[in-house]
């Protein structure tokens, strides 16, 4: 199991670290691991998150956006 920090996870997902922080607060985004005060993501979980949110058209909404307006 390879763990990456928030900065590296954000880089892998092409997001800002603050987006991942917001998602953690709202219970969205990939699962994470807390070790003391530090947050890590399992690289395999990031890959599964990407796969679960794969879209086939621009009208498809990723799973993490379901229920949001817009």
DSSP states of 26-52: HT-SS--EEETTEEEEEHHHHHHHHHH
pLDDT score for 59: 79
Tens-level pLDDT at each residue, the chain (70 residues): 899 999 999 999 999 999 999 999 999 999 999 999 999 999 999 999 999 988 888 777 665 555 554 4
Query: Sign of dihedral through CA atoms 17, 19, 24, 25?
Result: positive
pTM of the model: 0.78
Bridge partner list, 54: none
pLDDT score for 1: 83
pLDDT score for 43: 96
Give Cα separations from 29 to 13, 34 (angstroms): 10, 15
pLDDT score for 56: 83
CA distance 28 to 30: 7
């Amino acid at each position: 199991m390879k763990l990456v920090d928030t900065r590296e996870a954000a880089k892998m997902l092409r997001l800002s670290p603050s987006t991942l922080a917001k998602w953690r607060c709202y219970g969205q985004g990939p699962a994470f691991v807390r070790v003391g005060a530090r947050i890590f993501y399992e690289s395999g979980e990031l890959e599964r998150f990407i796969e679960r949110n794969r879209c086939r058209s621009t009208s498809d909404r990723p799973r993490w956006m379901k229920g949001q307006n817009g």
